[in-house]
Amino acid sequence: MNRKTTVSLLLSIAISALALYLAFRNVPLKDLTAYLAAINVWWIIPAVAVVLISFALRALRWKIILASTQKIAFWPTYHPMMIGFMINCILPGRIGEVARPVILKKKEGVPFTAGLATVATERVFDAGLLIAFFAVVLAFVDIDPQVSIPFGQYTLNRDTLMAIGSGMFRLCLVGIAGILVISIGTTQNLLIALIERLPGWLFFLKERQRAWVRNKVCALFISIIHNFADGFAMVKSPVKLAAVTGLSVVIWVLSAVSYYVMALGCPGLELTFIELSAAMIIICFFIALPSVPGFWGIWEAGGVFAMALFGVPAREAAGFTLANHAVQMFPIIIAGMYSAVLTGVKIRQFAGTRLEISNDAT
């Protein structure tokens, strides 16, 4: 492990420790450990099983999206995806999103930008479904504007939640607009035509320099547009669009089921499926804020805030959120490590975030 990676790891541990302190500073450690010891561990098994099933469906969804670019079998899709999610859990910067298309290019020859476009498409579907579910939840759950939890530089309250939801909605709209612009033939051809004309506008350059711009810069951007268009091509197929939408709904419902199953083993929690679904959505919104690898601390703060909306005491809220976070994270880390071993991917190459992507990767 090089010095930069070591420093980054130690810094992440320190930030995580601080984040957890801020989230749990009002809960005595003795009470928290007593609650964790009282959890019925047998409920962890089905909760983990549901988590793993949901990620298998995520791989199937990605496989369908990738089919518009290149048909790939399930396991060659599953392993890069799990490695990417695992990297997000242990390394800063959420570089697992970039690692997935990098691994896919090395193992399956899918152009990097095409793979990256499919990951972006996934994120648009996830954000869109979360926003839709949030709207449904708001119809059943009244968020008390008086509930507020200070967390470092943030104040987690109804206004923060609505602001994050609004930001995700705008980001989703931008993502959809970008996909449409790149995928529609007319706009795609217009962009390419503008890029092709760029050397002619650089009249102040010598012909040799304009040729370099044409052959290097313009050709690169045109290649990127084509590859992104290939990655987004799924939106042109109503059947694939319906399949991916249906899978996205099932994936998020299963995620809520894993929360509900875990709650069955936690004493003092008598929340309905809708209420736990609301807690999951709120946590997902809060972990969109800048945070450490694995979202430690901000996840717990969001969970304690979500539980407070339903009158759950601080000890029970903190204990459930911490235990559930571990149930959601550690199976993914273990599965991702196993996939890395099977595929021969070395995680340390991503530690410095210096992903060397040559022109042919685009």
CA distances from 164 to 86, 91, 101, 131, 282 (A): 25, 24, 27, 10, 10
DSSP 3-state of 346:
coil
Q: How confident is the model at residue 359 (pLDDT cuts 50, 70, 90)?
A: very low
Residue 238 inside a domain? The answer is yes
207 found inside a domain: yes
Which neighbouring-strand residues pair with 149?
A: 156
Q: How is residue 234 written in tokens?
A: 């799924």
86 located within any domain: no
Mean pLDDT over the full length of the chain: 84
Distance between alpha carbon 45 and the CA centroid of its chain, in Å? 24
pLDDT score recorded for residue 38: 95
Q: Is residue 103 part of a domain?
A: no
Assigned domain for 90 exists: no
C-alpha dist (Å) from residue 324 to 223, 271, 276, 299: 44, 15, 12, 10
For the entire predicted model, the pTM comes to 0.82
Residue 122 predicted with pLDDT over 70 = yes
Residue 5's pLDDT band, with cuts at 50, 70 and 90, is low
pLDDT greater than 70 at residue 179: yes
DSSP state of 352: T
Q: By residue range, what is the domain housing residue 179?
A: 3-69+110-333
What mean pLDDT do residues 241-261 have? 95
Q: Domain for residue 91, yes or no?
A: no
For residue 7, is pLDDT > 70? Answer: no
CB under 8 Å to 262, separation ≥6 — which residues?
43, 44, 47, 320, 323, 324, 327
The confidence band for 219, taking pLDDT boundaries of 50, 70 and 90, is confident
* CA dist., res. 318 & res. 298, Å (int): 12
* Residue 99 in domain: no
For residues 226, 119, 108, 341, the Cα torsion angle rounded to the nearest 10 degrees is 160
pLDDT bracket for residue 361 (50, 70, 90): very low
Task: Say whether 3 sits in a helix, a strand or coil.
Answer: helix
Return all residues near 90 (Cβ < 8 A) that are at least 6 apart.
Answer: 293, 294, 333, 347
**b/e per residue 269-298 (b: at least 16 CB within 10 A):** bebeeebbbbbbbbbbbbbbbebbbbbbbb
Q: What is the pLDDT of residue 139?
A: 72
pLDDT per residue over 149-169, tens digit each?
776 666 777 777 777 778 778
pLDDT at position 62: 96
Rounded Cα distance between 75 and 72, Å, is: 8
pLDDT of residue 6: 62
DSSP 150: E
Candidate from 133-137, 149-153, 163-167, 204-208 with smallest mean pLDDT: 149-153
Provide mean pLDDT across the span 103-131. 89
Task: Tell me what the mean pLDDT of segment 247-274 comes to.
Answer: 94
Q: Is residue 347 in some structural domain? A: no
What does the pLDDT look like over 262-317, one tens digit per residue? Answer: 999 999 898 999 889 989 998 988 787 766 778 888 788 888 888 888 888 889 99
| Least-confidence region, from 98-112, 145-159, 176-190, 302-316 | 145-159
Q: Which of 179-183, 220-224, 255-259 has the highest mean pLDDT?
A: 255-259
Q: Count the domains in the chain.
A: 1
Q: Is the pLDDT of residue 354 over 70?
A: no
pLDDT over 90 (residue 51)? yes
Q: Is the predicted pLDDT of residue 81 greater than 90, yes or no?
A: yes
Residue 353, pLDDT above cutoff 90 = no
